[in-house]
Structures are given as C-alpha cells and as structure tokens.
C-alpha cells in the first residue's frame, strides 16, 4: 500500500465477537484487547479519513459522475452500469477534464491502488447517495445525480455523516453478519460476494442536521408543499370581477355624477358586504376541500438508528432507508438497494398499464448503449455513450414517489422528497389544472344557469316595463342590477360544496373518510353492501385458541389478543406429555418461520393479525422466535388465488447443507393437504392416505363450526411433496355493534352480503351470529360462481338474480368479487364493496362505492376506494350512509330555502311593476335580502342533524335530480305565501298612493320575517319542527338570531335607517308582521303532516319490496 493509506487507521469488525479489530498481514486481525486468537476473514475494511474536508468540498463541486461506465466481474454474465476504477481515473484526469484539480486524479489513483493491493474484486458501494450537507448559507449544493443515479454502482465516499451497514455473508459456513460503522469521510471496501442487508440508516443527529441544512427549495417536510403565503388582497379583489358587481359599481358612479350621494354610499356599503360574504364562502370552500387531503396522512416504514419505525412520510430526509412492500405507496424517490420480486405500478407517472419490474441493477442498460449488444462484456473499459434519452420506465432500480407496489418487497435509500421528486414535477404541472366537479356540483351549475337565464329575462322585462312607465332610469337600472345580484343563485354551487365538504369532515370525525365529494351523492343510493369478514365484521384481534397436530394431539391456548399472559394446555392427559409438547412446538415453530409479523419495542404488532397471533401462541408454548436461528432464502408471498404462503429456510446454527433447504408452508387446510404426501408422526414421516386426510378435514370442520379460522401447516424439501404438521384454529370475535348495524342497513332496504376467503363452515357460523344469514339463507362458494358463469344455458339476468339471492360467499378470490359486483350492477343495484388487499382494488374500482379498510388496508386498496373506514368496522359504513343521506337531504332543504326566496323577490318586484305601483323594496333592501339568502341561515340548514326517518327510506334513485317535483311544489307554495303576504302589507300601507319610509320599512321587514319563518320550515321536508325540536340545531339558532338582530338594527339604528331608508316601527307593527309572516311556516307544517302520512304508507311498501 502507498504511504497515504498506511498512515490511515484501517479497521475490520470481527464476525464472531462484533468488536473492532486491527488489520495485520495476510488478512488476519487481532482484537483491540489482547489474548484473543486471530481469525481469518475475507475482508470488509473501513478506511477512515479517506478525504479531508477541503478535498471533499471540491469533489462535490467538480466531479461529474453522470457518465455511463461498464464494469464486470470475471465469471459474471450480467452487465453492470457503474464506474470501472481505471476508466474513472481516465475520465477525471487533468488531461481529459482541464478544470479538475490534481487531487481528483490522485484520489482515484489511491482507489485504484487500494483495489490492486488490498482486495481482488473491488466493488465500490454507494451507501448514501446524498451525504454532503452544506451549512446554511453555503454556496455549495449537495451532489445530486438526478439523471444517472440509476447506475448499478455509483462511486462515492462517505462524507460528513456517520452511517452504519450490516453485511450478511451467505456463502460462508456458518453464515455470519458484520455490522460496520462508517465514520465521516471514510471509504468502504468489500472483498468477495456479500448481500447487503441495509439494516441501519442515518442517526438522529444526521436527521436533524439535514433538516437544518437543506433549504425548503431542495427538500420539503410536506409531501407536496402547499403555498403557505396567499395574496388575500388579490383574491378579495377577484370578487369584483363578477359582472353583476361591476354593474352595481357603475350605478354608484352614475349616482355620484347625479349628486345622489346617499344612494352611492349605500350601494357601496352593500357591495362591500356582498363581496365579503362571497369571499368568505369561497375561502371556506377551498379550505374545507384542502382539509380533505389531510384526513389520511401517508405513513412509511423506515430504518433509523438500527430500528424499524413507522411515521408520517413527510418526515423523511435523504439518506433514510425505507421499506416498501406489496400494497404500499412509495413515500419518496428511492434508490433500491435490496428487492425481492418487486413490481411497481407507475401508470400515474408513465401512463403504462403494465407494472414495472424493479431490480437493484439497471437491466435495461444494454438497450441504451452503442456497441456489441450480443456480448457487452467485450466492451468493458471502452468509452460507451448513451444512445437514447432514458425515460422513467428505464430507471428500473429507482422507485418513484406516489407509485404503488403491486408485488414483492424492497429497501431503498431516499434520494428525493417533496418538490424534488419526479412526482413533484408532475404535481406542479397538475396544480394548473382545475379539479373536476362532482355530478351534484354540475347539476347545481346547470340549475344555476337556468335560473339565471329566467331571472335575467324577468329582470329585463321589469326594467323595460318600468322604463315604458316613465320611471327614473337610474332607479330601474339599480333595482334591476340589485335583483340580479339577489335572484341569480351564483352562490348555490359554493354553498353546495361547503355543505358537502363539512359533511365529509363530520364523517371523518366518525372514522369514515370520503375521498371524493361525488361519493356522497351515491351513498344514499346503495342497494347492496358486500362486506369482507375479517376485520370488518369481526374484531381483527386474532387469537389462537385451539390447535391439532398431525398425530391428532389437541391443545387449548388461553389468553386473549396479543397478550402473552396465557398458556398451551394439552387436551390428551393420558398420552406421553413430552411427545405431545414436542409435536405442538414443532407445529408452532413452522407457524413462526412462515411468518412476516413482528412486535416492536413497545409491543405493537407490525404485520398481519393472523401471523401475530401465531407468534404469541409460540411464545405461550415457551418458544423463542425461531427466525433468529434460521436464514430465509426464498419467500412465496400469500396469494388469494393459491391460498398459501411458503418460505424456504436453513438453519444458521450448524453446518447446514444449503443445497437442501426446507420449505415451511401455511394456508387453507384443503390446499395444504393437497400438497402433502406424508404426515409427521413423532418426528418420523408416514404416508398420508386419503382416509387420514378425511379425518383431518372432519376435525377441522368441527373447529370451524365454532367460528374459528383454520390454517394448515406443513414442511418439506419440495412444495409438491410436503409433510403435514397440523392445523391451528384462530378465533376472531364479531365486532360489538355490528349486528345492530346490519339490522339498521336492512331496515333501510339495503342488503348485506358476506364475501370472504374463509371456509364455508366458518363463514356460516359468523354470518349467523351477526344476522346476515337467516334460516333458509343461501351460501355460495367461489367455485360455484365459476360454474355459474360457465353455464351457457342461463342468461346474464338469471345469473345476476341468483347472485342477488345469496347471503354469504365463501372461498372467493378478488376476481370473484369483481364478478359479483358486475352481476349485481347488471340488474340495477348500486353496490358497495369492501376490501383491504392489493387484489381487491379492481373490485373496489368496479363497485359504485369502493370501501377500503384504513387500518389493515394497503395503499393500493385505499387509492382505488371512494370511502376509507379508519377503524375497519362495518358499523362505520352505517355512519357513512347516515351522513350521505343526511347531506343530500339537507342540500334539498337549503335549495328549497334559496329558490323560494329568489322566486319571491323576483315575483314581488315583477308584480309591482306590472300593477303599476311603486317598487316595494329599494336596491339596498334587496341586497340585504341577498345576504340573508346566501348567508348564515342558508348554510346552517346544511348542518342539520340527520333525520332518523330519512335513514329508513329506501335507496334513492341515483339518477334522481336534486330539484324533484315534490321539492319544486314546496318552493312554489312558500314563494306564493311570501309574495302575497308582502304585497298585502305594502298595498295596505300605501293606501294614500304615496310611498313613505314607513311603507317600505313595513314591506321590507315583512319580507325578511317571511324569509326567517321560511328558513325554519325548511329544516325538514317531512318532519315537523315540533318533532325536530326548536333548539336542536344551534348553528341555525345563531344564524336566525343574528339575522333578526341585524333587521332590528336596520329598523331602529339611525345610521342604518339612513342607508336602508327605514324608520322605527311600533310593537304592534312588529306583532302584526310576525302574525302575517308566520303563515308560510304553518302552511308548510300542514303540508308536512299530509306528506308524512302518505310517506309512511309508501315506505312500508318500498322497504318490503327491497327486502324480498
């Protein structure tokens, strides 16, 4: 070695004791403490202080590694992308790149020297792709290979951060692990083959320093950062671009020119109030919609300080090691360092429907380079150049933020978060696009357009008639514009959006997260709910309660949930207790090995509940985790199609023959038995004949009849020639309240069907407990569904009708779920489907309402769903349906209120004009009425509590418009009472033919009181206010009370009297106005009484039809 390296401390870590040791000749080492024998090791070396700080800063600034290099090892067929040291040296030499300093060439000369003298096959390994963190204010930026980071081998050194790495040597006998700490400014050199188990990530200090050093432009805490700063002034001024507001401003200018300053000031104040109300409404709408995005904050699993942790993805920093698995959404841009059968759906970035297969190597490199493609290894060391610009699909060893993992699992280093990700680039472009509006919002837009056209025609007619009657032009113009502002329901879509968003927020507080507003419209139309069993109808708190070994030794397991306070009690007290216990432990050992669950330091389960229950049962039997004594070589993940999981393991405690590993398999009992040729009999292998198989199935069915889920276990050298070990019975009790929830759904005319992968007996047992399966009910298996679909003698309608009569579907796959949904939809049923797995996503997308599980559901499943149940409880579906029906019902209530007020105001002015009498209301009074119509009273109707009678209504027709004939009749009746009553007051007060302030005050106050009484009656379309309760909606009380106080101020406060041209009224006047305006309320109550009796008759008939 050169002098430079001999002066540096070089350490290795002993594979036997884990302590630091000194390097000596011939790759031998001595421990730091004396008296320990030397041990042979094929080298893992850490060279500290490989570069100094000055060299490091220049290196980060000047070295350009974004060029392709090719490396190859002797005997390795695959092509690697990465720097060959000698080739890299030529590339960075002063002669080739005149701008590089001498130290850069010397640096790589040292590395080449290290390669030749220290190890044979030097493979530089990039541990952290972003290690350099400049101080705040420094002009040096982190070295970020955003384009060529996808190379297999990226040459770098560990810079300012201290990191750690655990290596597993699989090809040593016995295999061992080495944990290496990499000090700042160090180089790691690895000799021989090694698998890098990226077990340890950056430290707490590094996380903090990176957060401080990285500017918000590089990496944001938020996934995609929203603009914190908003120009409220400009947004407020945007409201003045409304053409109607601009017309009012024009009338102000005209009033000033005509020296009518009182009118000008009054109209200006009215404009400010109207614009402010509109701005506040729009702001609330935007804020509510943004809050929806925060209801399900994305989490991630990462390794920090050597510990597996789960936290919000927004707290990731570059250098974190993230673990992703099937169903996860990738939380940041990752450079993959370890992956197993990983495929990722990148369609949201690339548009390609086929998932991308990932690898730690750039397998597509030969497609992108010039040269001899048939034997790329011949070109090693030659100067190769990229032929094509790579696309996202070419980055096979990168995982991009926002994409979805379809299969497999992997570890990756975070190389980009927030705005610096590929998704961040797409999101910035997406922000310019407006979000699509829901059908209900489009319906409201269309309704608003029609009403606007009708209103403008009537207003135009009023202005023309007034002009023909020689009324003042300015007065008619101002009245016309004010009517347009009041009558045209431009705020209707905004109020609808606010009501929907607030309703969705209320649902979220009750554990039902609605992702899209349009889903609310469909919730009240659902005819059928197809629910999964595990975790939705049951607690998902699995407990192993019984087990049976291959020798038919049985055992009861005490304790509940994941508490270890329990024991395994053998049932056969006459047989050899030791043999029984060994057989039970052999069964539980296999269950622990074929297992991916674990418990963290706080005792929380990380993984599937079923697997967690098996680990707890093994602990109760006195077993330590056998996975610490075995190396897992291969894994076949559980598939709902094949219904089993398998792992291939080998002991690491002995000189185990790696050519003969052992499979450990668990799955459905019938699937496991089909793969078994033998059964274990006190450690020996006996032939498993059909008679014994039938005995095992009979015993398992007896366990299943108690509501237990049965899983069989086996082991062997081949998956087709296994040895049966026994089965485990797992109990998952029904959730409390789920039976009542099902009863409520059924009372509302909604069918509930169980769709599960469990056996027939288990499914029937649970379904009977919770009221889904009544005596005489029908059940159907997934195989029966296949046979039904293959039956060509039946048409699709007949098949759909058969499916609709089934209460329980068992042993079904995700494809069967899709079939069930399609058939139910084909006969007009609006269907909701629950799911939690990746393969359920297709059925959730196909269903009218896809419902994902928030706790056990995968990110893929949540992405496909419309509603997420945060507690995985079917009773929460009832909450969603309640709120969905209630929100839609309340929207009808305030539409009734707004339209009746709008029509009344238009009709009042139109009739007065036609009758050739003075206008009953002036411009300021009309604008005040507009504030009432669009303001608090209207919005408070949207938060009315759900009427329980509404919940019992049969599902609503999904095509039914909001403005039904019944609602339109109510609107017209209310408008007629308001117009007639107000005109009577106006004409009676104007008996002398001259309009005085008292006349307009009486008319104006009468209209406002009519409006408030009308709002009170609009709280329910069928139920009397006396049944609802006057004080049940506090928001409504505050809104009406505030409006009444405002009206009293307008009447009795001098400044407002000037603005609104009013005068004080006597107590008798107010009593008279209350009496006449309350007629609209009593008329509405009488109509409700009539409709309620009629509705109850129809309800009984409709519900019985849906339940048949």
In a domain, residue 229? The reply is: no
In a domain, residue 507? The reply is: no
DSSP conformational letter for 386 = B
CA distance 684 to 550: 11
Residue 591 sits in the same domain as residue 683: yes
Residue 801 sits in the same domain as residue 950: no
- Hey, what are 632's tokens? 């897992």
SS3 846: helix
- Hey, what are 966's tokens? 């019944």
In a domain, residue 210? The reply is: no
User: Model confidence at 282, in pLDDT bands (50, 70, 90)?
Assistant: low
pLDDT greater than 60 at residue 554: yes
Q: Among 731, 760, 779, where does a domain finish? A: 731
In a domain, residue 860? The reply is: yes
Strand order in the sheet with 163-169: 176-182, 163-169, 195-197
The pLDDT, as a whole number, for residue 956 is 79
- Cβ neighbors of 243 (< 8 A, separation 6 or more) are none
pLDDT tens figures, 748-775: 889 999 998 888 888 898 899 899 998 8
The pLDDT, as a whole number, for residue 342 is 86
Is 597 in contact with 649 (CB distance < 8 Å)? no
Is 495 in contact with 938 (CB distance < 8 Å)? yes
Among 827, 759, 760, 813, residue whose Cα is nearest residue 785: 813
Instruction: Name beta bridge partners: 634.
Output: 648
Residue that is written with structure tokens 């300053």 in the block: 261
CA 1091 to chain centre: 42
Residue that is written with structure tokens 């033998």 in the block: 678
Residue 371 sits in the same domain as residue 481: no
pLDDT tens figures, 1016-1049: 988 888 788 888 888 888 888 988 898 899 899 9
The pLDDT, as a whole number, for residue 134 is 32
DSSP conformational letter for 754 = E
Phi, psi for residue 721 in degrees, rounded to 5: -145, 60
Is 218 in contact with 130 (CB distance < 8 Å)? no
In a domain, residue 112? The reply is: yes
How many CB atoms are closer than 10 A to CB 39? 15
Residue that is written with structure tokens 């990285």 in the block: 214
- Pairing of β 528-531 and β 831-835: parallel
In a domain, residue 910? The reply is: yes
CA distance 778 to 776: 7
Prior bond of 174 cis (ω within 30°):
yes
Residue 691 sits in the same domain as residue 749: no
CA distance 691 to 687: 11
SS3 946: coil
Residue 676 sits in the same domain as residue 755: no
- Cβ neighbors of 843 (< 8 A, separation 6 or more) are 814, 817, 818, 820, 821, 833, 835, 850
Among 750, 767, 842, residue whose Cα is nearest residue 534: 767
Identify the active-site residue in 263, 532, 732, 836: 532
Between 942 and 1043, the higher pLDDT residue: 1043
Is 532 a residue of the active site? yes
Is 909 in contact with 483 (CB distance < 8 Å)? yes
pLDDT tens figures, 284-320: 656 655 554 555 567 888 877 667 788 888 888 777 7
Residue 912 sits in the same domain as residue 963: yes
- Cβ neighbors of 1024 (< 8 A, separation 6 or more) are 1085, 1088, 1089, 1092
- Pairing of β 751-755 and β 806-810: parallel
Mean pLDDT taken over the chain? 71
- Cβ neighbors of 1070 (< 8 A, separation 6 or more) are 1005
CA 159 to chain centre: 37
Residue 739 sits in the same domain as residue 727: no
- Number of separate domains in the chain: 5
pLDDT greater than 70 at residue 1062: yes
Which range among 94-98, 142-146, 616-620, 639-643 shows the weakest confidence by mean pLDDT?
142-146
Residue 860 sits in the same domain as residue 907: no
The pLDDT, as a whole number, for residue 83 is 34
The range of the structural domain enclosing residue 516 comes to 512-536+735-872
pLDDT greater than 80 at residue 639: no
CA distance 936 to 1040: 8
DSSP conformational letter for 355 = P
Residue 372 sits in the same domain as residue 452: no
Is 250 in contact with 357 (CB distance < 8 Å)? no
- Hey, what are 974's tokens? 């209310």
Which H helix or E strand runs over 547?
A: strand 543-549
User: Model confidence at 982, in pLDDT bands (50, 70, 90)?
Assistant: very high
Instruction: Name beta bridge partners: 178.
Output: 167
In a domain, residue 212? The reply is: no
Kindly state the average pLDDT of the residues 1047-1070: 90
The pLDDT, as a whole number, for residue 707 is 84
Is 366 in contact with 379 (CB distance < 8 Å)? no
- Cβ neighbors of 485 (< 8 A, separation 6 or more) are 244, 245, 248, 274, 926, 927, 930
- Pairing of β 299-304 and β 321-325: antiparallel
CA distance 324 to 1: 42
CA distance 1056 to 1073: 20
CA distance 4 to 55: 15
In a domain, residue 719? The reply is: yes
The pLDDT, as a whole number, for residue 819 is 93
Residue 855 belongs to a domain with what CATH number? 3.40.50.1000
CA 1029 to chain centre: 38
Residue 551 belongs to a domain with what CATH number? 3.40.1110.10
Kindly state the average pLDDT of the residues 652-659: 51
Residue 741 sits in the same domain as residue 817: yes
CA distance 709 to 724: 18
CA distance 315 to 931: 45
CA distance 1081 to 508: 35
Among 103, 105, 73, residue whose Cα is nearest residue 91: 105
CA 489 to chain centre: 35
Counting residues of the chain whose pLDDT is more than 90, the rounded percentage is: 19
How many residues in the chain?
A: 1108
Look at the pTM and tell me if it is higher than 0.75.
no
Q: Is the dihedral of CA 272, 274, 277, 283 positive or negative?
A: negative
pLDDT tens figures, 827-867: 989 999 988 766 677 888 888 899 988 877 777 778 788 88
Residue 802 sits in the same domain as residue 948: no
Of the ranges 26-30, 799-803, 965-969, 992-996, the best mean pLDDT one: 799-803
CA distance 796 to 819: 11
Which range among 96-110, 237-251, 471-485, 822-836 shows the weakest confidence by mean pLDDT?
96-110
The pLDDT, as a whole number, for residue 72 is 33
Q: Among 838, 872, 906, where does a domain finish? A: 872
CA distance 835 to 856: 9
CA distance 906 to 918: 15
Residue 1040 belongs to a domain with what CATH number? 1.20.1110.10
Residue 341 belongs to a domain with what CATH number? 2.70.150.10
Burial of 703 (0-12, 13-18, 19+ CB in 10 A): buried
- Hey, what are 554's tokens? 């049985």
DSSP conformational letter for 140 = P
DSSP conformational letter for 857 = -
Q: Among 672, 703, 731, where does a domain finish? A: 731
Residue 408 sits in the same domain as residue 478: no
Which H helix or E strand runs over 716?
A: strand 708-716
Is 341 in contact with 407 (CB distance < 8 Å)? yes
Instruction: Name beta bridge partners: 637.
Output: none
Between 728 and 185, the higher pLDDT residue: 728
């Amino acid at each position: 070695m050169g002098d430079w390296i001999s002066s540096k401390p070089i350490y290795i870590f002993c594979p036997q004791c884990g302590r630091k040791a000194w390097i000596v000749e011939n790759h031998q080492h001595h421990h730091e403490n004396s008296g320990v024998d030397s041990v042979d090791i094929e080298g893992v070396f850490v060279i500290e202080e490989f570069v100094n700080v000055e060299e490091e800063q220049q290196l980060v600034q000047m070295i350009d590694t974004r060029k392709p290099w090719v490396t190859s090892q002797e005997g390795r067929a695959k092509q690697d992308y990465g720097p060959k040291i000698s080739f890299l040296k030529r590339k960075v030499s002063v002669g080739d790149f005149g701008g590089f300093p001498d130290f850069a060439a010397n640096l790589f000369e040292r590395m080449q020297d290290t390669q030749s003298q220290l190890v044979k096959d030097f493979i530089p390994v990039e541990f952290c792709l972003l290690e350099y963190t400049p101080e705040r204010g420094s002009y040096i930026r982190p070295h970020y290979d955003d384009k060529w980071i996808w190379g297999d081998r990226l040459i770098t050194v560990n810079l300012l951060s201290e990191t750690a790495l655990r290596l597993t040597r699989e090809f040593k006998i016995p295999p061992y692990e080495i944990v290496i700490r990499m000090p700042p400014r160090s180089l790691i050199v690895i000799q021989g083959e090694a698998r890098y188990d990226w077990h340890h990530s950056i430290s707490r200090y590094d996380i903090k320093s990176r957060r401080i050093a990285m500017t918000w432009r590089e990496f944001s805490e938020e996934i995609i950062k929203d603009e914190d700063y908003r120009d409220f002034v400009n947004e407020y001024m945007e409201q003045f671009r409304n053409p109607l507001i601009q017309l009012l401003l024009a009338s102000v200018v005209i009033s000033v020119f005509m020296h009518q300053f009182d009118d000008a000031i009054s109209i200006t104040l009215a404009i400010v109030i109207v614009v402010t109300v509109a701005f506040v409404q729009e702001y609330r709408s935007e804020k509510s919609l943004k809050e929806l995005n925060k209801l399900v904050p994305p989490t991630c699993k990462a390794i920090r300080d050597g510990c597996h942790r789960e936290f919000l993805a927004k707290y990731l920093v570059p250098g974190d090691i993230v673990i992703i698995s099937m169903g996860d959404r990738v939380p940041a841009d990752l450079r993959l360092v370890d992956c197993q059968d990983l495929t990722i759906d990148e369609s949201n970035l690339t548009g390609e429907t086929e998932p991308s297969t990932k690898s730690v190597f750039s397998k597509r490199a030969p497609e992108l380079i010039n040269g001899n493609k048939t034997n790329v290894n011949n070109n090693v060391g030659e100067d190769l150049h990229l032929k094509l610009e790579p696309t996202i699909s070419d980055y096979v060893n990168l995982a991009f933020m926002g994409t979805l993992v379809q299969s497999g699992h992997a570890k990756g280093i975070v190389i980009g978060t927030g705005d610096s990700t590929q998704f961040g680039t797409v999101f910035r472009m997406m922000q310019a696009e407006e979000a699509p509006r829901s059908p209900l919002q489009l319906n409201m837009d269309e309704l608003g357009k029609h009403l606007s056209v009708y209103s403008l025609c009537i207003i135009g007619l009023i202005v023309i008639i007034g002009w023909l009657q020689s009324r003042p032009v300015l007065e008619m113009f101002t009245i016309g514009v004010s009517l347009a502002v009041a009558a045209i329901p431009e705020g209707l879509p905004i109020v609808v959006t606010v009501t929907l968003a607030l309703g969705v927020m209320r649902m979220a507080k009750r554990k039902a997260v609605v992702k899209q507003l349009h889903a609310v419209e469909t919730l009240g139309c659902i005819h059928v709910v197809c629910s999964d069993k595990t975790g939705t109808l049951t607690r998902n708190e699995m407990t192993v309660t019984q087990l049976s070994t291959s020798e038919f030794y049985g055992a009861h397991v005490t304790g509940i949930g994941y508490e270890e306070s329990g024991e395994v009690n053998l049932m056969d007290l006459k047989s050899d207790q030791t043999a029984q216990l060994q057989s039970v432990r052999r069964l539980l050992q296999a269950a622990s090995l074929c297992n991916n669950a674990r418990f963290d330091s706080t005792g929380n389960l990380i993984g599937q509940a079923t697997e967690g229950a098996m680990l707890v049962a093994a602990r109760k039997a006195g077993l330590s985790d056998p996975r610490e004594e075995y190396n897992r070589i291969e894994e076949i993940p559980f598939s709902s199609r094949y219904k089993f999981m398998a792992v291939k393991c080998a002991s690491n405690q002995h000189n185990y023959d790696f050519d003969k590993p052992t499979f450990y398999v668990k799955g459905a009992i019938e699937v496991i038995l089909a793969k078994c040729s033998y059964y274990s009999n006190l450690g020996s292998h006996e032939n498993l004949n059909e008679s014994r198989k039938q005995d095992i199935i009979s015993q398992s069915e007896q366990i299943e009849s108690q509501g237990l889920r049965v899983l069989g276990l086996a082991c062997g050298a081949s998956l087709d020639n296994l040895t049966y070990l026994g089965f485990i019975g797992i109990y998952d009790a029904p959730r409390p309240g789920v039976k009542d929830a099902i009863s409520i759904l059924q009372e509302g005319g909604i069918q509930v069907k169980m769709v599960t992968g469990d056996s027939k007996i288990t499914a029937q047992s649970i379904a009977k407990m919770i009221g889904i399966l009544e005596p005489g009910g029908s059940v159907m298996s997934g195989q029966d569904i296949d046979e039904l679909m293959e039956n060509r003698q039946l048409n699709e309608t007949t098949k759909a009708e058969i499916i609709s009569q089934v209460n329980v579907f068992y042993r079904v796959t995700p494809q069967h779920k899709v079939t069930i949904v399609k058939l139910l939809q084909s006969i007009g049923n609006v269907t909701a489907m629950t799911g939690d797995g990746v393969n359920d996503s297709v059925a959730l997308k196909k269903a009218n309402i896809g419902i994902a599980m928030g706790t056990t559901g995968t990110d893929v499943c949540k992405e496909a769903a419309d509603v997420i149940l945060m507690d995985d409880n079917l009773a929460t579906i009832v909450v969603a349906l309640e709120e969905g029906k209630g929100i839609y019902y309340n929207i009808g209530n305030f539409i009734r209120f707004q339209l009746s007020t709008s029509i009344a105001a238009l009709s009042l002015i139109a009739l007065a004009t036609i009758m050739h009498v003075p206008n009953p209301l002036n411009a300021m009074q009309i604008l005040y009425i507009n504030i009432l119509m669009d303001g608090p009273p209207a919005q408070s109707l949207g938060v009315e509590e759900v009427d329980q009678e509404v919940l019992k209504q049969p599902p609503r027709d999904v095509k039914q418009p909001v403005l039904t004939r019944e609602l339109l009749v109510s609107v017209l009746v209310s408008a007629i009472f308001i117009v007639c009553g107000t005109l009577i007051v106006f004409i009676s007060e104007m008996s002398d033919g001259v309009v005085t302030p008292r006349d307009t005050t009486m008319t104006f106050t009468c209209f406002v009181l009519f409006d408030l009484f009308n709002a009170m009656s609009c709280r329910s379309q069928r139920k009397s206010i006396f049944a609802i309760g006057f004080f049940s909606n506090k928001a409504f009380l505050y809104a009406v009370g505030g409006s009444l106080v405002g009206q009293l101020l307008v009447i009795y406060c001098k400044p407002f009297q000037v603005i609104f041209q009013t005068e004080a009224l006597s107590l008798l006047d107010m009593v008279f106005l209350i009496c006449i305006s309350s007629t609209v309320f009593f008329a509405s109550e009488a109509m409700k009484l009539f409709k309620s009796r009629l509705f109850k008759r129809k309800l009984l008939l409709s519900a019985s039809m849906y339940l048949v």
